């Protein structure tokens, strides 16, 4: 029988041998003999008062942090990854949302910030943040992924954690005005087919987007219930569900309607995909279905053989995730994982599968399928189709090798 089909929780306990209670005691019927609970110091004294200065922070026992990715060309052109290996559920706390800045984080006074909408429109507009707050608003849960997430086309490193391989991925509830609402207000002319979005940062990041790709686009001013963080584009960003992160222009200050793509630096020299024949794919907007196991993953250490939960994240820029399969034998056999409800379109989906580790080597992988029927490919299939010249859009199956001693390492 392959390890993946060994019955998992046939016994009475997940943690036989743990909790200071022996496995044989658990197996026996009747009341358990447990040592008396001590009354700890934190029960004998009152705790501290309310949070000061008023904005709460995590317990001092928690040490979560974003982690810088590759060394930046200059200090402002940096990125940091979300610690996916330590997070739960699907929402990324605002202080841990990944960051990617091409010209640093500007300190923008919202009173002075303006959004200009012009070009092929009937009524060009200059809007303040107060103006925007008066429009009808929406809140939607969506992932954001940098297309440069997962540096796996040419390189691999056994020391990588999931923060290094998939950390340019986060998920939040985004609130703001639907772009369609604003476009109605300015009156898009019939000859307009593309728009340009421009940021107010020192990079003045600009990207072109066809109007046909704007489904669900939000002019977002809030993230998980509070104003955007400066790192995420305070006071205003474009948010484009399911599309490569680069298009979600932060510190948004200008939208121009036109009748063709604007061919900016970021869509000509950057954010194109060099194919094996030397041509480049341009305007590869959609993030294809992808998944990764976050527990156990690189850097984790399993203490002893027994019951564990395999858990991870799946997402697709094309819609809902319909299934995630997990393999613990390097892709020989696959089993369906449970998907945490609600499964939302273009949002992270948490998957889980109980697993009994027999103490031997195991290669843990996941593969996701979305509602279009697209299934996450193997690395081999991706490379066969697209070669190894690319930088962006790696969505291949990824693995974690559990060694006999319980250490967990990345394998390509
Ligand atoms: N104005 C501006 N917008 C920007 C960027 C930037 O440097 N400047 N970086 C882009 C890139 S490459 C990505 S992946 C996302 C990252 O968003 P985040 O930092 O909120 O995670 O923002 C995009 N929008
Ligand atoms: Mo990015």
What are the chain's domains? 78-281 (3.90.420.10), 290-411 (2.60.40.650)
Tens digits of residue pLDDT in 135-163: 999 999 999 999 999 988 988 899 999 99
- Helix, coil or strand: residue 352: strand
Which ligand is the nearest neighbour of the Cα of 207?
1
Per the confidence metrics, is the pTM higher than 0.75? yes
Tens digits of residue pLDDT in 30-62: 566 788 899 999 999 999 998 888 999 999 999
Secondary structure (DSSP) of 246-306 = GGS-SSEEEEEEESS----GGGTTSS-EE-TTS-EE----B---EEEEEES-TT-B--SSE
Whole-number Å distance between alpha carbons of 376 and 326: 12
Tens digits of residue pLDDT in 344-361: 999 999 999 999 999 999
Give the pairing of strands 206-210 and 335-336. Answer: unpaired
Ligand 1, closest atom to CA 245?
Answer: 14
Give the pairing of strands 138-145 and 169-178. Answer: antiparallel
Give the C-alpha distances (Å, rounded to integers) separating 242 from 132, 142, 247, 270: 24, 8, 10, 19
CA 147, distance to chain mean position in Å, is 11
Distance 235 CA to ligand 1 centre (A): 14
Whole-number Å distance between alpha carbons of 221 and 175: 6
pLDDT on residue 36: 87
Residue written as token pair 């993953």: 297
pLDDT on residue 30: 59
- H helix and E strand count, the chain: 6, 24
Which ligand is the nearest neighbour of the Cα of 264?
1
Nearest CA among 11, 253, 230 for reference residue 99: 230
Tens digits of residue pLDDT in 234-286: 999 999 999 999 999 999 999 999 999 999 999 998 999 999 999 999 999 99
Nearest CA among 248, 241, 243, 240 for reference residue 199: 248
Residue written as token pair 């036109």: 258
Token pair of 364 as six digits: 């843990």
As a whole number, mean pLDDT of residues 171-188 equals 98
pLDDT on residue 26: 46
pLDDT on residue 51: 83
- Eight-class DSSP state of 142: E
Q: Sign of dihedral through CA atoms 356, 357, 358, 361?
A: positive
- Helix, coil or strand: residue 82: coil
Token pair of 333 as six digits: 């056999």
Instruction: Identify whether the C-beta of residue 349 lies closer than 8 Å to the C-beta of residue 311.
Output: no
User: Ligand 1 site: residues with CB under 6 angstroms?
Assistant: 97-102, 144, 146, 199, 201, 203, 205, 231-232, 245-246, 248-251
CA 162, distance to chain mean position in Å, is 11
Whole-number Å distance between alpha carbons of 51 and 209: 44
pLDDT on residue 12: 52
pLDDT at 8 over 80: no
Q: Determine which of 13-17, 58-62, 227-231, 281-285 has the lowest per-residue pLDDT on average.
A: 13-17
Whole-number Å distance between alpha carbons of 258 and 188: 10
Distance 392 CA to ligand 2 centre (A): 9
Distance 298 CA to ligand 1 centre (A): 27
Residue written as token pair 């202080």: 95
| Pocket probe mutation, ligand 1, options 205, 207, 270, max atoms within 8 Å of Cβ | 205
- Helix, coil or strand: residue 68: strand
Ligand 1, closest atom to CA 79?
Answer: 19
Distance 19 CA to ligand 1 centre (A): 46
Whole-number Å distance between alpha carbons of 387 and 391: 11
């Amino acid at each position: 029988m392959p390890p993946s089909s060994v019955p998992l929780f046939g016994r009475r306990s997940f943690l036989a041998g743990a909790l200071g209670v022996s496995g044989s005691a658990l197996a026996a019927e009747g009341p358990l003999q447990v040592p008396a609970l001590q009354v700890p110091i934190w029960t004998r004294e009152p705790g501290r008062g309310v949070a000061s200065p008023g904005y709460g922070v995590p317990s001092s026992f928690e040490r979560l942090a974003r982690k810088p990715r590759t060394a930046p060309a200059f200090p402002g052109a940096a990125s940091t990854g979300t610690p996916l290996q330590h997070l739960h559920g699907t929402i990324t706390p605002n202080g841990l949302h990944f960051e990617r800045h091409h010209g640093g984080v500007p300190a923008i006074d919202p009173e002075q910030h303006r959004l200009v909408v012009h070009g092929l429109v009937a009524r060009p507009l200059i809007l303040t943040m107060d103006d925007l707050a008066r429009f009808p608003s929406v809140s939607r849960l969506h992932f954001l992924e940098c297309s440069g997430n997962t540096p796996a086309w040419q390189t691999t490193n056994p020391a990588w954690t999931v923060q290094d391989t998939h950390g340019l991925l986060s998920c939040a509830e985004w609130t703001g005005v639907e772009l369609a609402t604003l476009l109605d207000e300015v009156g898009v002319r019939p000859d307009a087919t593309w728009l340009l979005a421009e940021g107010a940062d020192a990079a003045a990041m600009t990207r072109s987007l066809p109007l046909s790709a704007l489904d669900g686009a939000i002019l977002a001013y809030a993230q998980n219930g509070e104003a955007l963080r400066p790192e995420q584009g305070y006071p205003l960003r474009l948010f484009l569900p399911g599309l490569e992160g680069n298009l979600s222009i932060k510190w948004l200050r200008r939208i121009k309607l036109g009748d063709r793509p604007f061919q900016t630096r970021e869509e000509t020299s950057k954010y194109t995909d060099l194919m094996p024949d030397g041509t480049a794919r341009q305007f590869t907007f959609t993030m294809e279905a992808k998944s990764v196991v976050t527990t156990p993953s690189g850097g984790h250490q399993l203490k002893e053989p027994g019951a564990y939960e395999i858990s991870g994240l799946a997402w697709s820029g094309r819609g809902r995730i319909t299934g995630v399969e997990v393999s613990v034998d390097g892709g020989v056999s696959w089993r369906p994982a449970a998907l945490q409800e609600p499964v939302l379109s273009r949002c992270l989906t948490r998957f889980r599968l109980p697993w009994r580790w027999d103490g031997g080597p195991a290669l843990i992988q996941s593969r996701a399928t979305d509602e279009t029927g697209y299934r996450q490919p193997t690395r081999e299939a991706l490379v066969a189709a697209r070669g190894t010249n690319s930088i962006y859009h790696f969505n291949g199956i990824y693995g974690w090798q559990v060694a006999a001693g319980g250490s967990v390492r990345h394998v390509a």
